[in-house]
Amino acid sequence: MPNQVLTIEPQNELKFKVDFSGMFELGYTTYMRLTNPSEHTVLFKIKTTAPKKYCVRPNSGVLEPNSNVDIAITPQPVHVDPNEKHKHKFMVQSVIAPEGKTNIDQVWKEISPDQLMDYKLKCVFDTPRGTNLNDAGDTATQNEVNKKRVAVSSAADDVKSLTKTNFPKSENLESDLQKATNEVIHLREEESKLRHENLRLKEELLRLHQSVGGEGRAARRHSYGPEKTEQIALMPWIATAIAMALLGIIIGKFVM
C-alpha cells in the first residue's frame, strides 16, 4: 500500500468536546485540513467507524495539485458510550486520479485496493475541565457523572411520588360543590317559606285589629293571653335564627 500523498492536519487525533454526562457539546465542530502538495490530482474520501454520530462535510472530493480543503466534522447530539470511546476513528482514503478519467464514482469502483492510500486518526473526547475521557484516569470523572445521574434519578422519583399523592379527585370536589349548592338552595327556600309565614301572621293579626274595637281587642288579648301574643311577636326572630343556623351548618360542612 502506497504512503498517503496528502498532508493531513491534525496529524494523529481529532478532539471533540463532551459534557459531564458524556453528551457531545452542541454546536462544536472539529476541522481537518487536507493539502495536496503533489503535482497530481488526488481524489479523497473521509470514513469513520461511527457514521451515525458524526456529520462530515465534505466527505469526499477532488484536490488539484498544490490545493487544500477544510473538512468540517460536527458530532451529533448523542451520548458517547464509554465502552465505545476507543473505537471512534477517522480514516482519510485517497487515490491519484487516472489520466483521462472524469467520472469520479466510476474511478472509486474500478480502483484496486493496492492503489488506495489510507491515513487513520483517533478521536479524543475532552470534558469542560479538560479531562480526557480516553485516558485511563477518567474513572473519577465517570464516578462524578454517575453520582449526578443518581441524584437526578432520585429527584425524578420524588416528583413521581408527589404526583401519586391522594389529593381529592376533581369528580368528588364537583360532587361536594353540587351538594352544598343544593343545600344552600334548600335553605333559601325554607327561609322564604318562613318569611311568607311571618308575613301571613302579621296580616292576620292586622285584620284582627281592624275587625274589632277596643273590646274586641281586649277579648283577643284575653283569648290569646300575654304569652301567646309574645310568641307571635317573636316568630320572625325565631325564623331568622333558624335560617342562620342552617346556613352556618351548611357552610361548615363545605369548608371541612
The tens digit of pLDDT for each residue in 29-39 reads 999 999 999 99
138 pLDDT higher than 80: no
The pLDDT confidence band at residue 131, using thresholds 50, 70 and 90, is low
3-class DSSP state of 23: strand
Q: How many CB atoms lie within 10 A of CB 231?
A: 12
CA–CA separation, 199 vs 196, rounded Å?
5
Q: Give me 166's grid cell.
A: 391522594
Provide the whole-model pTM.
0.51
112 pLDDT higher than 50: yes
67 pLDDT higher than 70: yes
Whether the Cβ atoms of residue 6 and residue 46 lie closer than 8 Å to each other: no
Looking at per-residue pLDDT, the higher value among 201 and 137 belongs to 201
Name the nearest CA neighbour of 53 among 12, 20, 16, 21.
Answer: 16
Q: Where are the beta strands (DSSP E) in the chain?
A: 7-9, 13-17, 30-36, 42-48, 54-57, 60-63, 67-75, 89-96, 117-126
The pLDDT confidence band at residue 159, using thresholds 50, 70 and 90, is very low
57 pLDDT higher than 70: yes
Whether the Cβ atoms of residue 34 and residue 69 lie closer than 8 Å to each other: yes
Whether the Cβ atoms of residue 64 and residue 41 lie closer than 8 Å to each other: yes
Query: What number of CA atoms fall less than 13 Å from residue 70's CA on the CB side?
Result: 5
